[in-house]
Amino acid sequence: MGSMGSLTKRMNTVEEAMKKMNYTYLDLEAKNFRSNLLVHGISKMDDEDVVETTHLFVSETLALDGTEEVHSATRLERPGGRQGTLGKPRPILTTFPYERQRERIID
């Protein structure tokens, strides 16, 4: 009977450690997304240059210069499959090295 109590105690310890690791993971994931910008509703063209598409959106639609921010992005892509859900274009995911660069565009 003593070994069963010891096993239960160890299992509870492992479960607590897993909860802490999950919270840490979620916290790190949220911090990582702070420098991301998702742009929805831009139609995809054949042979699209995502950098140029994003730059045009920032400069023409948002009426911002944003050249430095767009070209400093560490990742510009349309994540997911070939077509978005229900025929909608997939969003453009832009990842900036610094959260401040993203803030200049969305402010």
Tell me: the pLDDT tens digits for 59-90?
777 777 766 777 677 777 887 766 555 667 88
Residue 31 has pLDDT above 60, yes or no: yes
pLDDT at 18: 92
Output the CA–CA distances (angstroms, integers) from residue 66 to 6, 84, 91, in the order listed: 60, 26, 19
Q: For residue 51, which of 106, 107, 93, 102 has the smallest C-alpha distance? A: 93
Kindly report the number of other CB atoms within 10 A of residue 98's CB atom: 13
Q: pLDDT band at 37, cuts 50/70/90?
A: confident
Is residue 54 a contact partner of residue 60, using CB atoms and an 8 Å limit? no
Residue 15 has pLDDT above 60, yes or no: yes
| DSSP designation for 46 | T
**pTM listed for this prediction:** 0.55
CA angle 69–70–72, rounded 5-degree value: 65
